[in-house]
Amino acid sequence: MSWLVPLSDIQFGAEEKEAVLRVLDSGWLTMGSITEAFEEEFKAYTGAKHAFAVSNATVALHMACQALNLGPGDEVIVPSLTFVATANAVRYTGATPVFADILGENDLTISLESIQRRYTPRTKAIIVMHYAGYACDMPAILKWAYEKGLPVIEDAAHAVGSSLQGRHLGTWGISGCFSFFSNKNLATGEGGMLVTDDDHMAAKFRLLRSHGMTSLTWDRYQGHAWSYDVVDLGYNYRIDELRSAIGREQLKKLDANNARRKELTTYYKQLINEQVPAVKIPFEAHTGISAYHIMPVLLPKGIDRIRFMEGMKREGIQTSVHYPPIHLFTSFRSLPHGEQGLELTEEIAAREVTLPLYPLLTNGQVELVVHALSLAFNSNR
Protein backbone atom coordinates (compact mmCIF):
# COMPACT_ATOMS: atom_id res chain seq x y z
CA MET A 1 0.00 0.00 0.00
CA SER A 2 1.46 3.35 -0.87
CA TRP A 3 0.17 6.03 1.47
CA LEU A 4 -0.42 9.65 0.59
CA VAL A 5 0.70 10.42 4.14
CA PRO A 6 2.40 7.56 6.04
CA LEU A 7 2.33 7.35 9.83
CA SER A 8 6.04 7.98 10.20
CA ASP A 9 9.11 8.38 8.05
CA ILE A 10 12.85 8.36 8.58
CA GLN A 11 15.26 11.03 7.55
CA PHE A 12 18.83 10.05 6.83
CA GLY A 13 21.22 12.29 4.93
CA ALA A 14 24.75 12.18 3.62
CA GLU A 15 25.99 12.53 7.23
CA GLU A 16 24.65 9.13 8.33
CA LYS A 17 25.81 7.42 5.13
CA GLU A 18 29.34 8.81 5.42
CA ALA A 19 29.52 7.93 9.11
CA VAL A 20 28.59 4.30 8.33
CA LEU A 21 31.14 4.12 5.52
CA ARG A 22 33.86 5.45 7.83
CA VAL A 23 33.09 2.61 10.26
CA LEU A 24 33.28 0.01 7.49
CA ASP A 25 36.62 1.44 6.36
CA SER A 26 37.95 1.46 9.92
CA GLY A 27 37.66 -2.33 10.17
CA TRP A 28 36.27 -2.24 13.75
CA LEU A 29 32.58 -3.07 13.84
CA THR A 30 31.41 -3.44 17.40
CA MET A 31 31.67 -1.61 20.75
CA GLY A 32 34.67 0.59 20.08
CA SER A 33 35.56 4.27 19.98
CA ILE A 34 32.40 5.30 18.08
CA THR A 35 30.14 3.71 20.67
CA GLU A 36 32.16 5.35 23.45
CA ALA A 37 31.79 8.71 21.74
CA PHE A 38 28.03 8.14 21.27
CA GLU A 39 27.69 7.38 24.99
CA GLU A 40 29.69 10.48 25.95
CA GLU A 41 27.55 12.66 23.69
CA PHE A 42 24.36 11.13 25.02
CA LYS A 43 25.49 11.81 28.60
CA ALA A 44 26.23 15.41 27.72
CA TYR A 45 22.86 15.76 25.99
CA THR A 46 20.74 14.25 28.78
CA GLY A 47 22.85 15.17 31.80
CA ALA A 48 23.00 11.51 32.86
CA LYS A 49 26.12 10.42 34.75
CA HIS A 50 26.39 7.04 33.00
CA ALA A 51 25.10 5.88 29.60
CA PHE A 52 25.28 2.42 28.03
CA ALA A 53 24.48 1.97 24.36
CA VAL A 54 22.65 -1.32 23.89
CA SER A 55 20.90 -3.40 21.22
CA ASN A 56 17.44 -1.90 21.83
CA ALA A 57 15.23 -0.43 24.55
CA THR A 58 13.69 -3.80 25.41
CA VAL A 59 17.04 -5.12 26.60
CA ALA A 60 17.71 -1.82 28.38
CA LEU A 61 14.46 -2.38 30.32
CA HIS A 62 15.47 -5.98 31.02
CA MET A 63 18.90 -4.88 32.31
CA ALA A 64 17.24 -2.22 34.48
CA CYS A 65 14.97 -4.88 36.03
CA GLN A 66 17.75 -7.47 36.33
CA ALA A 67 20.07 -5.01 38.08
CA LEU A 68 17.39 -4.58 40.77
CA ASN A 69 17.53 -8.38 41.35
CA LEU A 70 13.85 -8.78 40.56
CA GLY A 71 12.60 -12.36 40.46
CA PRO A 72 9.71 -14.74 41.08
CA GLY A 73 7.34 -13.50 43.78
CA ASP A 74 8.20 -9.85 43.18
CA GLU A 75 5.70 -7.42 41.72
CA VAL A 76 6.46 -4.44 39.52
CA ILE A 77 3.81 -1.79 38.89
CA VAL A 78 3.67 -0.78 35.23
CA PRO A 79 1.22 1.05 32.97
CA SER A 80 -1.01 -1.03 30.70
CA LEU A 81 -1.20 1.74 28.10
CA THR A 82 2.30 1.23 26.72
CA PHE A 83 4.21 -0.99 24.32
CA VAL A 84 4.34 -4.60 25.48
CA ALA A 85 8.12 -4.38 26.02
CA THR A 86 7.57 -2.39 29.23
CA ALA A 87 5.83 -5.38 30.82
CA ASN A 88 7.83 -8.11 29.07
CA ALA A 89 11.01 -6.79 30.68
CA VAL A 90 9.49 -7.56 34.07
CA ARG A 91 8.42 -11.05 33.01
CA TYR A 92 11.91 -11.94 31.74
CA THR A 93 13.11 -11.77 35.36
CA GLY A 94 10.29 -14.01 36.63
CA ALA A 95 8.63 -11.10 38.45
CA THR A 96 4.99 -10.19 37.85
CA PRO A 97 3.87 -6.98 36.15
CA VAL A 98 0.92 -5.39 37.97
CA PHE A 99 -0.95 -2.92 35.81
CA ALA A 100 -1.91 0.59 36.89
CA ASP A 101 -4.40 2.92 35.26
CA ILE A 102 -3.79 6.23 33.47
CA LEU A 103 -4.71 9.70 34.70
CA GLY A 104 -7.44 10.46 32.17
CA GLU A 105 -8.35 12.00 28.82
CA ASN A 106 -5.95 14.88 29.21
CA ASP A 107 -3.01 12.87 30.45
CA LEU A 108 -2.41 9.33 29.22
CA THR A 109 0.48 8.63 31.62
CA ILE A 110 0.36 6.42 34.71
CA SER A 111 -1.72 7.59 37.68
CA LEU A 112 0.02 7.80 41.07
CA GLU A 113 -3.27 7.10 42.82
CA SER A 114 -3.64 3.90 40.80
CA ILE A 115 -0.02 2.95 41.61
CA GLN A 116 -0.84 3.40 45.30
CA ARG A 117 -3.88 1.13 44.96
CA ARG A 118 -1.71 -1.56 43.35
CA TYR A 119 0.95 -1.41 46.04
CA THR A 120 1.44 -4.57 48.13
CA PRO A 121 4.27 -5.83 50.37
CA ARG A 122 5.53 -7.71 47.29
CA THR A 123 5.94 -4.54 45.20
CA LYS A 124 9.64 -4.12 44.40
CA ALA A 125 9.73 -1.43 41.71
CA ILE A 126 7.70 0.83 39.43
CA ILE A 127 8.16 1.39 35.70
CA VAL A 128 6.66 4.55 34.23
CA MET A 129 6.38 5.42 30.53
CA HIS A 130 6.46 8.97 29.19
CA TYR A 131 3.66 8.62 26.63
CA ALA A 132 4.48 10.38 23.33
CA GLY A 133 7.32 12.16 25.15
CA TYR A 134 5.09 13.91 27.70
CA ALA A 135 6.41 13.55 31.23
CA CYS A 136 4.68 11.49 33.89
CA ASP A 137 4.23 13.34 37.17
CA MET A 138 7.78 12.47 38.24
CA PRO A 139 8.02 14.75 41.31
CA ALA A 140 4.92 13.20 42.91
CA ILE A 141 5.66 9.61 41.83
CA LEU A 142 9.28 9.79 43.04
CA LYS A 143 8.29 11.37 46.36
CA TRP A 144 5.86 8.56 47.13
CA ALA A 145 8.20 5.85 45.79
CA TYR A 146 11.03 7.19 47.93
CA GLU A 147 8.86 6.94 51.06
CA LYS A 148 8.16 3.30 50.19
CA GLY A 149 11.78 2.56 49.22
CA LEU A 150 10.76 1.67 45.65
CA PRO A 151 13.08 2.28 42.69
CA VAL A 152 11.45 3.86 39.62
CA ILE A 153 12.58 2.83 36.12
CA GLU A 154 11.67 5.18 33.27
CA ASP A 155 10.66 3.78 29.91
CA ALA A 156 11.85 6.82 27.97
CA ALA A 157 11.50 5.20 24.53
CA HIS A 158 9.39 8.18 23.37
CA ALA A 159 11.26 10.80 25.31
CA VAL A 160 14.63 11.56 23.77
CA GLY A 161 14.75 15.37 23.99
CA SER A 162 11.94 15.57 26.60
CA SER A 163 12.40 17.30 29.91
CA LEU A 164 10.48 18.39 32.98
CA GLN A 165 11.61 21.29 35.17
CA GLY A 166 14.82 21.44 33.15
CA ARG A 167 15.71 17.81 33.85
CA HIS A 168 15.84 15.33 30.97
CA LEU A 169 13.33 12.48 31.19
CA GLY A 170 15.04 9.18 31.87
CA THR A 171 17.32 10.85 34.44
CA TRP A 172 14.69 11.24 37.18
CA GLY A 173 14.42 7.63 38.31
CA ILE A 174 17.05 5.00 39.11
CA SER A 175 17.50 4.33 35.40
CA GLY A 176 16.09 5.42 32.05
CA CYS A 177 15.66 3.38 28.87
CA PHE A 178 15.71 4.99 25.41
CA SER A 179 14.84 3.39 22.08
CA PHE A 180 16.47 4.12 18.73
CA PHE A 181 14.12 1.83 16.76
CA SER A 182 13.41 2.91 13.19
CA ASN A 183 10.27 4.91 13.99
CA LYS A 184 11.59 6.68 17.11
CA ASN A 185 12.72 10.33 17.23
CA LEU A 186 16.37 9.25 17.08
CA ALA A 187 16.60 6.22 14.77
CA THR A 188 19.47 3.78 14.26
CA GLY A 189 17.46 0.75 13.04
CA GLU A 190 17.69 -1.27 16.22
CA GLY A 191 19.39 0.42 19.16
CA GLY A 192 18.90 1.87 22.60
CA MET A 193 20.53 3.60 25.54
CA LEU A 194 20.38 2.84 29.25
CA VAL A 195 21.23 5.73 31.58
CA THR A 196 21.70 6.05 35.33
CA ASP A 197 23.26 8.41 37.86
CA ASP A 198 23.87 5.52 40.25
CA ASP A 199 27.46 4.15 40.20
CA HIS A 200 26.37 0.81 41.64
CA MET A 201 23.74 0.30 38.90
CA ALA A 202 26.25 1.42 36.27
CA ALA A 203 28.72 -1.26 37.37
CA LYS A 204 25.98 -3.88 37.02
CA PHE A 205 24.90 -2.60 33.62
CA ARG A 206 28.45 -2.88 32.31
CA LEU A 207 28.50 -6.57 33.27
CA LEU A 208 24.95 -7.38 32.16
CA ARG A 209 25.54 -5.95 28.69
CA SER A 210 28.42 -8.26 27.92
CA HIS A 211 28.15 -11.73 29.55
CA GLY A 212 29.30 -10.57 32.98
CA MET A 213 32.84 -10.31 31.59
CA THR A 214 35.34 -8.10 33.40
CA SER A 215 37.07 -6.97 30.21
CA LEU A 216 35.83 -6.53 26.65
CA THR A 217 37.34 -7.37 23.27
CA TRP A 218 37.90 -3.65 22.79
CA ASP A 219 39.95 -3.38 26.01
CA ARG A 220 42.08 -6.33 24.95
CA TYR A 221 42.58 -4.90 21.46
CA GLN A 222 43.75 -1.66 23.02
CA GLY A 223 46.25 -3.60 25.14
CA HIS A 224 44.47 -2.86 28.42
CA ALA A 225 43.81 -6.48 29.32
CA TRP A 226 45.00 -10.02 28.46
CA SER A 227 42.16 -12.09 29.81
CA TYR A 228 38.89 -11.79 31.67
CA ASP A 229 36.78 -13.29 34.40
CA VAL A 230 33.00 -13.84 34.29
CA VAL A 231 31.56 -12.60 37.55
CA ASP A 232 27.81 -12.55 36.90
CA LEU A 233 25.19 -13.97 34.52
CA GLY A 234 25.17 -11.50 31.66
CA TYR A 235 23.91 -11.28 28.11
CA ASN A 236 25.01 -10.04 24.73
CA TYR A 237 23.04 -6.79 24.65
CA ARG A 238 25.70 -4.76 22.86
CA ILE A 239 25.28 -2.27 20.04
CA ASP A 240 27.62 -2.07 17.07
CA GLU A 241 29.74 0.75 15.70
CA LEU A 242 27.57 1.12 12.58
CA ARG A 243 24.48 1.93 14.64
CA SER A 244 26.42 4.11 17.05
CA ALA A 245 27.74 6.08 14.08
CA ILE A 246 24.18 6.64 12.82
CA GLY A 247 23.07 7.52 16.34
CA ARG A 248 25.73 10.23 16.71
CA GLU A 249 24.57 11.92 13.51
CA GLN A 250 20.92 11.58 14.48
CA LEU A 251 21.64 13.11 17.89
CA LYS A 252 23.06 16.21 16.20
CA LYS A 253 19.76 16.64 14.32
CA LEU A 254 17.48 15.78 17.21
CA ASP A 255 16.69 19.24 18.57
CA ALA A 256 15.81 20.61 15.14
CA ASN A 257 13.69 17.54 14.39
CA ASN A 258 11.87 17.76 17.71
CA ALA A 259 11.25 21.48 17.17
CA ARG A 260 9.62 20.64 13.83
CA ARG A 261 7.51 17.95 15.52
CA LYS A 262 6.36 20.61 17.99
CA GLU A 263 5.36 23.01 15.20
CA LEU A 264 3.43 20.27 13.44
CA THR A 265 1.68 19.27 16.67
CA THR A 266 0.66 22.89 17.27
CA TYR A 267 -0.65 23.14 13.71
CA TYR A 268 -2.63 19.88 14.11
CA LYS A 269 -4.17 21.22 17.33
CA GLN A 270 -5.18 24.48 15.70
CA LEU A 271 -6.80 22.80 12.68
CA ILE A 272 -8.54 20.06 14.65
CA ASN A 273 -9.90 22.53 17.21
CA GLU A 274 -11.25 24.65 14.35
CA GLN A 275 -12.59 21.92 12.06
CA VAL A 276 -13.45 18.91 14.24
CA PRO A 277 -13.64 20.14 17.85
CA ALA A 278 -15.37 16.93 18.97
CA VAL A 279 -12.05 15.14 18.47
CA LYS A 280 -9.97 15.73 21.62
CA ILE A 281 -6.22 16.14 21.86
CA PRO A 282 -4.59 14.95 25.09
CA PHE A 283 -1.79 16.74 26.97
CA GLU A 284 -3.27 20.19 26.28
CA ALA A 285 -2.10 21.44 29.69
CA HIS A 286 1.31 19.75 29.71
CA THR A 287 4.01 21.87 31.35
CA GLY A 288 7.23 20.07 30.43
CA ILE A 289 9.11 19.99 27.12
CA SER A 290 7.91 17.07 25.01
CA ALA A 291 9.76 15.24 22.24
CA TYR A 292 6.38 15.04 20.42
CA HIS A 293 7.05 11.45 19.43
CA ILE A 294 3.50 10.74 18.22
CA MET A 295 0.24 12.63 17.59
CA PRO A 296 -2.55 10.93 19.56
CA VAL A 297 -6.19 12.07 19.32
CA LEU A 298 -9.30 10.76 21.06
CA LEU A 299 -12.53 10.13 19.18
CA PRO A 300 -15.78 10.91 20.98
CA LYS A 301 -17.58 7.99 22.61
CA GLY A 302 -19.77 6.03 20.22
CA ILE A 303 -17.62 6.49 17.09
CA ASP A 304 -16.58 3.20 15.44
CA ARG A 305 -12.79 3.44 15.46
CA ILE A 306 -12.20 0.73 12.85
CA ARG A 307 -14.58 2.41 10.43
CA PHE A 308 -12.97 5.76 11.17
CA MET A 309 -9.48 4.39 10.46
CA GLU A 310 -10.77 2.77 7.27
CA GLY A 311 -12.15 6.15 6.24
CA MET A 312 -8.70 7.68 6.79
CA LYS A 313 -7.14 4.86 4.77
CA ARG A 314 -9.48 5.58 1.85
CA GLU A 315 -8.06 9.11 1.83
CA GLY A 316 -4.52 7.67 1.80
CA ILE A 317 -3.77 8.54 5.42
CA GLN A 318 -2.08 5.92 7.58
CA THR A 319 -3.16 5.90 11.22
CA SER A 320 -2.33 3.67 14.15
CA VAL A 321 -3.32 2.90 17.75
CA HIS A 322 -1.11 3.55 20.80
CA TYR A 323 -1.79 1.18 22.43
CA PRO A 324 -3.94 -1.91 22.73
CA PRO A 325 -3.79 -2.22 26.56
CA ILE A 326 -1.30 -4.89 27.61
CA HIS A 327 -3.49 -6.45 30.30
CA LEU A 328 -6.00 -7.51 27.61
CA PHE A 329 -3.46 -9.49 25.55
CA THR A 330 -3.87 -13.27 25.65
CA SER A 331 -0.41 -13.81 27.07
CA PHE A 332 -1.14 -11.42 29.96
CA ARG A 333 -4.76 -12.18 30.80
CA SER A 334 -3.93 -15.06 33.10
CA LEU A 335 -1.52 -13.04 35.25
CA PRO A 336 -2.70 -12.16 38.74
CA HIS A 337 -4.24 -8.68 39.10
CA GLY A 338 -4.66 -8.70 35.32
CA GLU A 339 -8.02 -7.11 34.79
CA GLN A 340 -8.98 -5.06 37.79
CA GLY A 341 -9.82 -1.43 37.83
CA LEU A 342 -8.29 -0.26 34.57
CA GLU A 343 -11.48 1.50 33.47
CA LEU A 344 -9.81 4.64 32.16
CA THR A 345 -7.16 2.72 30.23
CA GLU A 346 -9.80 0.52 28.60
CA GLU A 347 -12.26 3.31 27.86
CA ILE A 348 -9.73 5.83 26.53
CA ALA A 349 -7.46 3.38 24.67
CA ALA A 350 -10.51 2.25 22.69
CA ARG A 351 -10.98 5.81 21.39
CA GLU A 352 -7.36 6.61 20.63
CA VAL A 353 -6.10 7.08 17.07
CA THR A 354 -2.55 8.16 16.19
CA LEU A 355 -2.12 10.57 13.28
CA PRO A 356 1.02 10.86 11.09
CA LEU A 357 3.87 12.82 12.67
CA TYR A 358 7.49 13.07 11.56
CA PRO A 359 9.82 15.99 10.88
CA LEU A 360 9.55 15.79 7.08
CA LEU A 361 5.75 16.12 7.20
CA THR A 362 4.66 19.37 5.53
CA ASN A 363 2.00 21.78 6.72
CA GLY A 364 0.07 20.93 3.55
CA GLN A 365 0.09 17.26 4.54
CA VAL A 366 -1.23 18.17 7.99
CA GLU A 367 -4.09 19.97 6.22
CA LEU A 368 -4.76 16.82 4.16
CA VAL A 369 -4.80 14.67 7.29
CA VAL A 370 -7.22 16.97 9.11
CA HIS A 371 -9.44 17.21 6.05
CA ALA A 372 -9.54 13.41 5.87
CA LEU A 373 -10.20 13.32 9.60
CA SER A 374 -13.25 15.58 9.29
CA LEU A 375 -14.58 13.50 6.36
CA ALA A 376 -14.07 10.21 8.19
CA PHE A 377 -15.55 11.69 11.35
CA ASN A 378 -18.64 13.16 9.75
CA SER A 379 -19.42 10.02 7.77
CA ASN A 380 -19.25 8.04 11.02
CA ARG A 381 -21.47 10.11 13.25
Ligand X SMILES: *Cc1c(COP(=O)(O)O)cnc(C)c1O
What is the β-pairing status of strands 123-129 and 152-155?
Answer: parallel
What is the β-pairing status of strands 167-168 and 175-179?
Answer: unpaired
**Is residue 194 a contact partner of residue 51, using CB atoms and an 8 Å limit?**
yes
Q: Which of 49, 143, 184, 204 is catalytic?
A: 184
Min CB(222)–ligand X separation in Å:
29
- Over the window 114 to 153, marking each residue x when it contacts ligand X by CB under 6 A and - when it does not, the resulting string is ---------------x------------------------
- Over the window 17 to 56, marking each residue x when it contacts ligand X by CB under 6 A and - when it does not, the resulting string is ---------------------------------------x
The three-class DSSP label of residue 34 is helix
**Is residue 319 a contact partner of residue 352, using CB atoms and an 8 Å limit?**
no
Instruction: List all residues 6 or more positions away from 289 whose beta carbon is below 8 Å from its beta carbon.
Output: 161, 162, 163, 164
Distance between CA 339 and CA 350 in Å, rounded?
15
CB nearer to ligand X: give 80 or 86.
86
Is 143 one of the annotated active-site residues of the chain? no
- Over the window 66 to 105, marking each residue x when it contacts ligand X by CB under 6 A and - when it does not, the resulting string is ----------------xx-xx-------------------
**Is residue 20 a contact partner of residue 50, using CB atoms and an 8 Å limit?**
no
What is the three-state SS of 153-216?
EEECCCCCCCEECCEECCCCCCEEEEECECCCCCCCECCEEEEECCHHHHHHHHHHHECCECCC
Contact pick of 46, 58, 96, 123 for ligand X (by CB under 6 A): 58
Residues within window 198-237 making contact with ligand X, judged by CB under 6 A: none
Contact pick of 133, 176, 192, 282 for ligand X (by CB under 6 A): 192
CB nearer to ligand X: give 179 or 257.
179
Q: How many residues bind ligand X (CB under 6 A)?
A: 14
Cα–Cα distances in angstroms (integers) from residue 85 to residues 72, 156, 196, in the given order: 18, 12, 19
Min CB(363)–ligand X separation in Å:
26
Helix, strand, coil content of the chain in percent (nearest 5):
40, 20, 40
**Residue 352 phi, psi dihedral angles, 5° rounding:** -85, 135
By CB under 6 A, residue 155 contacts ligand X: yes
Contact pick of 93, 96, 175, 179 for ligand X (by CB under 6 A): 179
CB nearer to ligand X: give 82 or 244.
82
CB nearer to ligand X: give 48 or 159.
159
- Catalytic residue list: 184
- Residues near ligand X, by CB under 6 A: 56-58, 82-83, 85-86, 129, 155, 157-158, 179, 181, 192
